[in-house]
A = this chain, B = another copy of it.
Amino acid sequence: MADSDARLQRFAEFLTRSGLKSTRQRDRVVRAFFAAARHVSAEELYHRVRAEDPSIGLVTVYRTLKLLREAGLATGRQFGDTYTRFDPSPADRPHDHLICTRCGKIQEFQNAGLLHLREKVARTLGFTVTEHKLELYGFCRDCARLNRHGASRNGRAPRAA
């Protein structure tokens, strides 16, 4: 897809600009990252990359993700879990998250009002805001229903918000 290509290009430029080299491994990782679903963990990305090139190590995935962040192409997020999940940078398509604390489902949303709010708060307090993270925790429709019926927990372990 063209969108992905543009990003690959941006990453390539970042490497050059920073005096870094472009390698087969890095290429595989960034392609897999752009192709992956959102909210992937380093481990998940590693498995995807591994599927097409078993010689690539987890360490390289971590290192490449760090570069993607420095290039402004990825953002790390920590929801309730112990590990970090990565998203394509929010600059392109700002979005926030709704996390079901019962089944672990993550739903994205966008809300224009938030940007106004953000600016208003920033102006009031003298900050210059460059980025934000908003997470709403609760129950998705299904889990809300189950809870109401007093069912015991199922699915993956919920995390404290």
Contacts and interface: CB of A to CB of B under 8 A. Distances in A.
A121 B125 contact: no
A152 interface: no
Interface stretch (A21-29, A33-41, A45-53, A126-134): A126-134
Interface string A8-37: 000000000000000000000000000000
A140 B160 contact: no
A127 B121 contact: no
The residue among A114, A118, A133 with the most chain B CB atoms within 10 A of its own CB is: A133
Contacts of A157: none
Interface string A99-120: 0110000010101011001101
A125 B141 CA distance: 8
Contacts of A120: 111, 113
Nearest to A78: B78
Contacts of A101: 130
A23 B36 CA distance: 50
A59 interface: no
B127 A138 contact: yes
A98 interface: yes
A137 B131 contact: yes
Interface of A: 69, 75-76, 78, 98, 100-101, 107, 109, 111, 113-114, 117-118, 120-122, 124-141, 144, 160-161
A-B pairs, top 7 by smallest CB distance, nearest first, are: A129-B138, A126-B141, A131-B137, A130-B138, A131-B161, A128-B139, A128-B144
